[in-house]
Amino acid sequence: MTDRNGDDIYGEKHKEANEPIFSGIPTFLKLPEVDRDALDEEGVDIGILGAPLDTATTIRPGTRYGPRAVRAASTVPSPPYEHFNIETGIDPFDTFSVADTGDAAVSPGDTRQSQLNIEDAVYEISEQATPIVIGGDHSISYPDIKGWAEANGYEDIGLIHFDCHADTGDEGLTGFEYDHGAWVKRVFDDGLMAGENYTLIGPRGFWPGPDTYEEMREAGMKWYTSMEVGGMDLDDIVTDAVQRATDGTDAVWVSFDVDVMEPAYAPGTGEPEPGGLIPREAIYMVREVVKALDPEDFGFDVVEVSPAYDTSDSSSYNGGVTSGLANRLIIEVMGSMALAEKGLESGDPIKPKEPLGPTGEAETPADD
């Protein structure tokens, strides 16, 4: 890879806000929209795809509007392209050309056909670029992974899964084998993933039941409950998850369900459960996980954003708290991919001249 920067890739649009945030077509970050069959021709490295499916949801619907809300949230603030992270010191758009490829075709009332359409769309992107998919309910992760793996010829993949629920039910929650509570089991049953290459981060609550967790344990799967995340060194969890996901595998998929979050911070989802991750924990772990992976053999999705239940989102014109988090996670993923591409542990953040914290002895008040 030759050195380049965002100006080389995007021209003046890299740093300049060329239109108000409420104008224009709200693609993700107002990035160019490129047809999925033209990504290679246009030199696109990362393709954004919407998967607006929620008919595999078992409780509260509404995630069909997730891609639209996340795109709306991504347009705030301008400028559209430059995203230098003040903490990590990296701008993904200095490394990658990113395009919005629109949404996969969804057939209302035909859940399985919609999933197959998503699989085809991810396949098409993955032949040419790294896919990042915005859901939609979590059932989309099975077709996401299937399309990505088949396009690249992956036979053994690792999976790092952030979620309140294991999604390993034999037939989901209500007897449908392709619902949003069964997709991990579908990936496992297809032989795409060994249990030893799977790690779940953040489960809590009351589903699935003990029999399912017994089966997960027998399969070699591993999980860190939300309370365990809160009481452990996050780096230890990240290191373990990455080691497991990369042990003898061809590639790694990271899937992030926003219901892993404490619903006070991410209420816009179909199955909120108290006691979840806080944003600093989630952002840090996603950063560190992706930074440790090969960006050439990687895929990501963020799912279960349901804007109807989201704080401050009454229209999805500017997104809400939860869609804003999902947008932020995607940018963090791309930033960590850029660090991995460059072989860097960190970028070049701007720091104060003086070290952080106290810099000398405190003065004592003079005697009266």
Return the percentage of the chain with pLDDT > 70, whole number: 94
**Nearest 5°: CA angle at 28, between 23 and 33?**
85
Report, as an integer, the average pLDDT of 164-182.
Answer: 81
CA dist., res. 21 & res. 196, Å (int) = 45
Residues belonging to the binding site for Mn(2+) are 138, 163, 165, 167, 257, 259
Report, as an integer, the average pLDDT of 156-182.
Answer: 86
* Residue 178 confidence (pLDDT): 81
On the question of pLDDT at 183 being above 60, the answer is yes
Q: pLDDT tens, 186-205?
A: 999 999 999 999 999 999 99
Determine the 3-state secondary structure of 256 from DSSP.
strand
Domain spans in the chain, listed from the N-terminal domain onward: 27-342
* Per-residue confidence band for 209, with pLDDT thresholds at 50, 70 and 90: confident
Angle between helices 234-246 and 279-291 (to 10 degrees): 40
* Per-residue confidence band for 1, with pLDDT thresholds at 50, 70 and 90: very low
Residues belonging to the binding site are 138, 163, 165, 167, 257, 259
On the question of pLDDT at 339 being above 60, the answer is yes
Domain 27-342: which CATH class?
Answer: alpha beta
* Residue 267 confidence (pLDDT): 95
Cis preceding-peptide flag for 335 (omega within 30 of 0): no
Give the tokens for residue 258.
């926003």
Question: Where are the extended beta strands (E) located within the chain?
Answer: 46-51, 98-103, 130-135, 157-162, 198-201, 222-224, 251-257, 298-303
* Residue 14 confidence (pLDDT): 86
